[in-house]
Structure 1
Amino acid sequence: MATPFTTVPGAVLDDDGRLLHLGTPAIEQRSLAQGTAVAPLGDRTVLAVAGEDRLSWLDSLSSQALTALAPGESTELLILDPKGHVEHAASVVDDGETTWLIADAANAESLLTWLTRMRFRLRVAPRDASDEVAVVGGTAAAIARVVPEALAVWADPWPVIGAGGWGYAATEPHPGGERDWSEAIVPLATLDRLADAARAGDIALAGTLAADALRIAAWRPRAAAEGGERTLPHEADWLRTAVHLNKGCYRGQETVAKVHNLGHPPRRLVALQLDGSDAMLPDPGAIVRRDGDPAGEITSVARHYEEGPIALAFVKRSVPLDAALTVDTPDGEVAAAQEMIVPPDAGATASVPRLPRLSRRR
């Protein structure tokens, strides 16, 4: 598929024309983190919701309290099924007239279909805005410098615990604490300008692989990877930024409250440091094993510019924190050192001790 980035030097695109990388993913990660590059996020789709009732309507459907969302304020929401599992997630920013939802491209169409069915007689008009706008990611300073024409900018609240939220991760400092990440909603023509500037050497670009590696290192869940029909928000520590525990009723709320106040989620998200810098990375869905038996599965994986091969995975709650784990890869099993994101006793508003984080590889 022809895109503005096809002729950018080094550009590698997927079958849908999305910029994966420009030949140097590790350098692109560092540039993104340092604010010297921006990433066109072709794996993100923008939905626009207009109408006077838009915020109260989204509030009633989702896990987040949105009625009082101020123009320019950033948050995120989850759409849960009746049993409390994550069906959709979206980044949310309102400009005073339109609420912009940034969603994983793989899930955006089904999210829009569901929202459209839930309009009833309210004054709301959700639409797919992908033929009008695109998404560009980077640090707040890089976004302001490179795409000043942005229609709206979503600043990722992760991992700060929002109003009504709750954090399970018991590691200090949280690896996402220093992550500076924003996503700008820009006119579609901006992509042509960025491609021209990159070809001229005036700006540096990064691909979606670099952006995702930084996300994984920050333990940041996303719907296309950590969401799904089995995922409870508690399992991914998603109550931090996407759930308001004291808001009004919404689909799945009963499960959210019961697990948080009375029970424990059956799985928990962990970060894995994978052994073998030269080994092939496991694929999402690869089996995590304890003593040879399946104990979980990989959800996201990357080769980080500082930490080496890393992954996020869901494991059974019963897996001990000091368990020796391995992960299936095309080259065979590799050892995996576990870092606790969600503790085994998450839920029941458990109080867990704060733990120092494993040192990073250099």
Structure 2
Amino acid sequence: MTVVMVEDLDPKSPDAGVPAHFGDPMREQRLLETAVGLVDRSNRDVIAVPGEERASWLHTLTTQHLTDLSKGEASELLVLSPNGHVEQHAFITEDGETAWLDTEPGAGAGLLKYLTMMRFFTKVEPRDASSELAVLSLVGPGAADLVPGLAEPRVGAVPGPKFAAGSVPPEPTSLYSVRDFEGGLARRVPLGVDLLVPRAAKTAVIEKLGVARAGLWAYEAVRVAARTPRLGWETDHRTIPPEAGLLAAGVHLDKGCYRGQETVARVHHLGKPPRRLVLLHLDGIASDHPPVQGTPVELDGRAIGFIGTAVRHHELGMIALAVLKRNVADDARLIVGESAAAVDPA
């Protein structure tokens, strides 16, 4: 089996360390959308937070409602700047003794630094656990059949502007089922099932599952088509949660104080975030190479946004997630590099 690593194609990629593809990226995409495939995402950083006060402590520091997060449950959370800009995005998985936070490659050090700085006298012991657990993802409609006993993922609806206080349930806005799996944990998520397995046992788990492999290129194509944002790709230094599609899964709008809450509340109640996340279709006529992250999106010669992740999809052609100014019309004629682009209004 041909294995092409991410760093073989781009030595500077933050996704180095995992396979980009196994010889046929388009076949791998179809596998993830029609059946099930296993994607190695073990380049993700992992932070462990043991300690009896971990739930209440993380509740006060992040955007998510976590006071009652219990064994067998997972969710998503953000850490914001004082001005409400997104600094961190992580999944949190609770096993009854430790809250495990997994985040983007390279983002763990910043998250751990912040958590350590905010410990004070709280009974928690955050540590870097990237050498302990590795993330593997079963992606596709058949993923849940391989790890039975996991409930469907639940992401609540975002309340409208000026919602009544107390109308948002005091629970995580996203709730994912968790069970023990091969010495680690399995977590049901919208794209399939994430496996947090002992890093030393990663190869053995892959062999035991016997699932067809797919590379990160295929995973990213499925993610983009599903309009799922990613920290550092669909965010920049001034992104606030609603601009990048991170509000529903990661932010509880009625849970009390956390850093950056004032900005989130003000923008939500006004109903006018400055920018929005969209899916773009690129014509691919002048160039069949997807534009790189950060490429400007232009309208009438003016930059009105930027490309997050651009991919070549097996059915949709060249597509990209982009963050655009809120008032850009869905039918606007956009330019990305050498390509014409159109917003998918769905």
Tell whether the structures are fold-level matches, with TM greater than 0.5: yes
The aligned residue for residue 117 of structure 1 is: 117
The aligned residue for residue 267 of structure 2 is: 259
User: 2:153 and 2:109 mapped to 1: Cα distance?
Assistant: 22
- Does the CA contact (< 8 Å) of 2:224 and 2:309 recur in 1? yes
The aligned residue for residue 307 of structure 2 is: 298
User: 1:260 and 1:13 mapped to 2: Cα distance?
Assistant: 38
| Aligned counterpart for 1:337 among listed residues 330, 337, 342 | 342
The aligned residue for residue 227 of structure 1 is: 235
- Does the CA contact (< 8 Å) of 2:330 and 2:342 recur in 1? no
The aligned residue for residue 127 of structure 1 is: 127
State the TM-score, normalized to the length of structure 2.
0.82
- Is the alpha carbon distance of 1:312 and 1:159 closer, same or farther for their aligned partners in structure 2, counting shifts above 3 Å? farther
Matched residue type, 1:191: K
- Is the alpha carbon distance of 1:89 and 1:257 closer, same or farther for their aligned partners in structure 2, counting shifts above 3 Å? same
User: 1:54 and 1:212 mapped to 2: Cα distance?
Assistant: 32
- Does the CA contact (< 8 Å) of 1:154 and 1:182 recur in 2? no
- Once the two structures are overlaid, the 10-residue window that deviates more, 202-211 or 279-288, is 202-211
The aligned residue for residue 28 of structure 2 is: 28
- Does the CA contact (< 8 Å) of 2:143 and 2:193 recur in 1? no
User: 2:277 and 2:265 mapped to 1: Cα distance?
Assistant: 19
Three-state SS of the structure 2 residue aligned to 1:211 is: helix
Query: Are 2:208 and 1:215 equivalent residues in the alignment?
Result: no
Q: Residue 193 of structure 1: CA displacement?
A: 2.0
Q: Pairwise mapping of residues 132-143 of structure 1 onto structure 2 (< 5 A)? A: 132-139=132-139, 141-142=142-143
Q: Pairwise mapping of residues 169-188 of structure 1 onto structure 2 (< 5 A)? A: 180-188=191-199
The aligned residue for residue 163 of structure 2 is: none
Matched residue type, 1:190: A
Q: Residue 158 of structure 1: CA displacement?
A: 5.7
User: 2:301 and 2:235 mapped to 1: Cα distance?
Assistant: 26
The aligned residue for residue 176 of structure 2 is: none
Three-state SS of the structure 2 residue aligned to 1:192 is: helix
- Does the CA contact (< 8 Å) of 2:234 and 2:307 recur in 1? no
User: 1:158 and 1:226 mapped to 2: Cα distance?
Assistant: 20
- Is the alpha carbon distance of 1:154 and 1:294 closer, same or farther for their aligned partners in structure 2, counting shifts above 3 Å? farther
* Structure 2, unaligned runs of 5 or more: 160-167, 174-188
Q: Residue 98 of structure 1: CA displacement?
A: 0.8
Three-state SS of the structure 2 residue aligned to 1:270 is: strand
* Structure 1, unaligned runs of 5 or more: 1-7, 167-177, 341-356, 358-362
The aligned residue for residue 19 of structure 2 is: 19
User: 2:319 and 2:191 mapped to 1: Cα distance?
Assistant: 20
Q: Pairwise mapping of residues 1-362 of structure 1 onto structure 2 (< 5 A)? A: 9-14=2-7, 15=11, 16-139=16-139, 141-142=142-143, 145=146, 157=154, 180-193=191-204, 202-262=210-270, 264-276=272-284, 279-328=288-337, 333-340=338-345, 357=346
Name the count of aligned residue pairs.
312
Q: Residue 157 of structure 1: CA displacement?
A: 4.8
State the TM-score, normalized to the length of structure 1.
0.79
- Does the CA contact (< 8 Å) of 1:155 and 1:181 recur in 2? no
